[in-house]
Chains A and B, each alone.
Chain A
Amino acid sequence: MHNLDDIALLSPLRKKNTHLKMLIVLFCIIAGVLSPSPVTPLFIGVVMIFITLFFGKVPKKFYLKLLFATMGFAFISAVMIALFSGGILGDVIFSYKLFFINIVLTTNSLNHSILIFSRAFGGLCSIFFLSMTTPMLEMFSIMKRVKFLNTFSELVMLIYRYIFVFLELLINIRAAQTMRFGYDNTKSALNSLSMLVSSLFIKTMDQGDKLFLAMNSRCYEGKMKYFEPCYKITFTDTIAALVFVVSVIAVFYFTMNFRFF
């Protein structure tokens, strides 16, 4: 089973300091959005892909599939922006009148759409880097650190565990139904699905009782502490982060006025 959390759990970059990773990603997104030229976000995106694939040891096929799927949407939006933002001035490259809609491609609209596409690309790659090297477990420490609704983060910790318990249960029930031809035609499939949902629902209630019992029998008093795993920032990490930040700023500064068209 490949899910993002499993990949992050097994990633060698998991053992790097979570706060450092978080700060870098925040910096990348802000730099990408502020940059007036598409070069900075593209640079960020390429570096992030490189780090995720080669240092994070994420399976390449899985990564590219996910990237293309999500970038597909960004691409469609970029095309739309390029063709339908007729108000933006600039040299007309191409125009066509479809019934009563003017499809106009100008240099400015093209530049604008490329910029938006590259921002999406840079931001997405940064988020991928974070989500494929930092499992949910590590995110709890950030939640707790920023005192982000204590009760809420405790709930998330419990929910996280039970997602996998119920996922396993779901797979088992589904297998049991499929084995007995529960999904052979639409009618039986609907019937099986309803039974699956209802039995899962009852199970979750049951599990809630058991959870309460389990917590109580270990003297639960309404507070769940979080023990942050300590991942130190090493000297090389600091240097690498600094080099990256400085190069992004340099790219930002020198390509500020760059346009493709």
Chain B
Amino acid sequence: MSILSAKNLVYEYPDGTKAIKDLSIEIERGKKISVVGKNGSGKSTLFSLLNGTLKPKSGEIKLYGEKIGYSQSEIRNLRKNVGIVFQNSDDQIFAPTVYQDIAFGPANLGYSDKQIEEIVQKMLDYFGLNSIKDKPPHHLSGGQKRKVAIAGILAMDPEIIILDEPLSNLDPVGADEIMDILNELNHTGKTIIISTHDVDLAYSWSDTVYLLSDGKISISGNPESVFSQEELIRKSSLKTPVLLEVYKELEKRWLSSCGFLPKNIPELVQTLREIYLFRVKVPKGTKVGDCINVGFLYKEYDPSGVYESVNSKVLLISDDNSAIVEVKKKIMNPGSIYIYDIDNHDSEQLHLIFDKYDINYVAAVGKRSHGLADSENIKVDANYGVIDKSILKSLTGGRCIILTGKGMIEHTYKRIKEYSTESGIKINCKILNTEN
């Protein structure tokens, strides 16, 4: 269902430059959407139009299928439903304290003081900002400011959250935290739109990608189809995502099977072609048809690899004592992934689980899981792309635990099972302590 749409938008700056030329866009509910394009392609202008802060010269914007007029109340309704997080947090945070800034939106929406207090407290808890709620913004770090900016918008409970370059000027861990928050928000049903130059992020994260160039949408669709248009991508001063490039090279060399374009590393691994024939050195006197045990997989290949070789059959012997053998590979016991529900947390039980399953890889989803891990003195190995990383780890025999809240459990379990059935590798996945 289309929640927000724009049709034939035209916008001209007062000096006459056309920033948006005949642009149409359809935003579907609950999707993750990226708008990519080079600097000055009109991304920020488009966002201001969608939020009603700019008025288009012609064209129309529809919210829930109803055309937006530009009366005070209609604009208010649009802004309540479509929140924008600016690229520069300093432009957005203007109140003297964090608490005041988050409370600004709800106060304008006319909630009672008690409601406002509840909402702000919820935001502070959700973003882990409780310890800095009375601080002035100039005492915050860049990552904290970004969180406050997002919290200030989220406090109005908009259906759609637009973020202009959400990861600019953030360190990698700070960026991971923001992406975690965005993913979690998306799971609770929010529609998320981001603008970005980071093609890797746009490719692996989004459901839909809009490529904006010269004030128009030049192509849109799922990330695989958009980023396969190399010519267009290059013209728009963007690059092909690294993952896609690697895959294309592998495909050209017949190393991976064609079929579908991988969106993340586990999927890329899945496309790799299995190699059955190896050329190895064999002892003298070996005959064609013999079964030998080649230990080479432990020498030439990564010892932490996935496979062990069993009874390889010699197919052909050449003169220089080497032979072509067919290797029957057996996947060594893949590891397991355990999912731990932090809403049913019990300290003693958690430590028992660690002992019992001999956990060697800990992944935490969201701020609360991190807080819990900290308070239990558990070192967290992964905090972003948690599911992918856990799958990769378990493929090489790792025993992972994923700490997550109730909302994400089902999704996590489903993703792992899906991978398991698609790849044919049986990963042991278990939800540990949920009620149902």
Contact = CB atoms under 8 A, between A and B. Distances in A.
A46 to B, nearest CB: 31
A135 B120 CA distance: 22
B91 interface: yes
A196 interface: no
A161 B91 contact: no
Interface in B78-127: 79-80, 83-84, 86, 90-97, 99-100, 103-105, 107-109, 113, 116-117, 120
B137 interface: yes
Contacts of A164: 136-138
A114 to B, nearest CB: 41
A9 interface: yes
A219 B105 contact: yes
A226 interface: yes
Given A9-B139, A214-B86, A140 B96 contact: yes
A136 B100 CA distance: 14
B136 A137 contact: yes
B42 interface: no
Interface in A206-229: 207, 210-211, 213-221, 223-227, 229
B335 interface: no
Contacts of A160: 96, 136
Contacts of B99: 227, 229
Contacts of B379: none
Contacts of B103: 225, 227
Contact of B116 (A165, A213, A223, A227): A227
A219 B94 contact: no
A218 B86 CA distance: 12
Contact of B138 (A165, A216, A218): A165
A250 interface: no
A165 B90 contact: yes
Interface centre among B48, B96, B99, B107 (most CB of A within 10 A): B96
B54 to A, nearest CB: 9
Given A219-B80, A219-B156, A214 B94 contact: yes
Nearest to B137: A161
Contacts of B83: 217-218
A158 interface: yes
B152 interface: yes
Nearest to A163: B138
Contacts, number: 90
Contacts of A229: 97, 99, 134
A217 B92 CA distance: 10
Nearest to A224: B104
A157 interface: yes
Interface string A158-179: 1011101100100000000000
Please classify how large the interface on chain B is, using the bins under 10, 10 to 19, 20 to 34, 35 or more: 35 or more
Interface in A138-163: 140, 157-158, 160-162
A225 B53 CA distance: 22
B411 interface: no
A219 to B, nearest CB: 4
Interface in A187-220: 207, 210-211, 213-220
A210 B91 contact: yes
B7 interface: no
B53 A219 contact: no
Contacts of B113: 227
A211 B79 CA distance: 16
Interface in B37-65: 48, 51, 53
Contacts of A207: 91
B96 A161 contact: yes
Contacts of A216: 53, 79
B135 interface: yes
A210 B109 CA distance: 21
Contacts of B134: 137, 229
Given A137-B96, A226-B100, A218 B153 contact: yes
7 contacts: A161-B93, A217-B84, A218-B83, A218-B104, A218-B152, A218-B153, A224-B104
Given A9-B136, A164-B138, A219-B80, 14 more contacts: A6-B139, A9-B135, A9-B139, A136-B96, A137-B97, A157-B95, A160-B96, A210-B86, A213-B48, A216-B79, A218-B152, A221-B108, A225-B103, A227-B120
Interface of B: 48, 51, 53, 76, 79-80, 83-84, 86, 90-97, 99-100, 103-105, 107-109, 113, 116-117, 120, 134-139, 152-153, 156
The 7 closest A-B pairs by CB, nearest first: A164-B138, A225-B107, A219-B108, A218-B105, A210-B91, A214-B92, A160-B96
